Structure 1
């Protein structure tokens, strides 16, 4: 004979919400800390977890032991309101922080045409690093005299003259990729994924942007399909 189960108690509902948020939504907790508590991105992503929760708000703890109060405004009238409220709070936080709902969690290696600019920049850096070996009388010097227009003197002038231009352009591209793309799509600064994309654009340039944009577009298309 079937028996009716008692509805979950207030404490059980609270525990379920806290467990779910801590195990499935640490990213959202970091958004709360950044927007509602004013933490930096680095501090907010230091293993945030809800320490306690009531109808008035959440107490979120980070790895270093610091705790921050994030209020519900207005307070919840019951635990049934918790799910839509925390979702709405995340939307508000992301919009204020300029963070997309499409998260980039992977890196993609160069493909096809991407290898051409990457190879060109790598070759240039090799040339610059090899300048000490371009000396009169060396095998490299004599080879450049034969194969390089203008000879070794012109080679030396070109490689030296454009170094800071090349270095500066690619450094700025790292900065802009981080600011406009990686931070917007939830890539923690200086994480392994961040370093891969930053390293790519430093030696590859504009094709990195195109490859990253194609990944984001594919993720957005997948998300839209799930809605229908």
Structure 2
């Protein structure tokens, strides 16, 4: 039974092992996510190793009276760890592209970034200067002033949104910081803004509904 438990935990529950290491052993999220695996266990503790070569004892408190107690105990320990770490029991595992109205702010902000990047070429005598003189209210001088003036504001707002999405959503729903999935969502909100929150929350709501259905 011990061997089956170790094999099952190491193949199906590495996420939970990282929770144990963070909460009970005090590791950082990055260190705890480095391929955690149970090296050994007895009725009093689990010994969990990580890719970096470290080994950490996570005690059963109180000790198990038999291996039959292992399953409910590790589930309870994970629930306690997640509560302490502020991690949900629903995990975000995929990225979703903008859809419908989401494309409006996405395209709008992309257009602004293109305008900001193109300012060095908006100079007297250039084709852009001539076009803006005909189509932009106030002409090219006003265009340059507006784009330059709001650049810091736009950049600051979107960087704050990246920070808050990471803190309030991505970490809570189990997305490892700086993973591919993390970069997908962080890059998206940096461009798209507030509609990213709504789309992500819809995904989480759907996952939670599915989880509740399985319970019944």
Q: Same fold (TM over 0.5)?
A: yes
Out of 49, 63, 79, which is 1:75 matched to? 63
| TM, length-normalised to structure 1 | 0.94
Matches within 5 A, 1:138-177: 138-177=126-165
Q: What is the aligned length?
A: 216
1:39 and 2:27 matched: yes
Is 2:121 the partner of 1:130? no
> Which of 40, 43, 48 is the equivalent residue of 1:52?
40
SS, match of residue 48 in structure 2:
strand
Which of these two proteins has the greater Rg computed from alpha carbons?
1
Matches within 5 A, 1:62-211: 62-211=50-199
Gaps of 5+ in 1: 1-12
Superposed CA offset, 1:137-195 (max 9, x none): 11111111110000001000000000010000000000000000000000000111100
- Partner SS for 1:190: coil
Q: C-alpha separation between the residues in 2 aligned to 1:31 and 1:138?
A: 58
C-alpha distance in 2 between matches for 1:109 and 1:21: 33
| TM-score computed with the length of structure 2 as normaliser | 0.99
Question: 1:225: Cα distance to partner?
Answer: 0.6
Return the alpha-carbon distance in structure 2 between the equivalents of residues 187 and 137 of structure 1: 50
The residue matched to 1:59 in structure 2 has which SS? Answer: strand
Alpha-carbon distance in structure 2 between the residues aligned to 1:98 and 1:167: 29
Give the CA RMSD over aligned residues. Answer: 0.4
The Cα of 1:64 is off from its aligned counterpart by: 1.0
- For 2:15 and 2:126, the matched residues in 1 are separated by 57
Supply the distance in 2 between the matched residues of 1:17 and 1:33 (Cα, whole angstroms): 18
Q: 1:217 is matched with which residue? A: 205
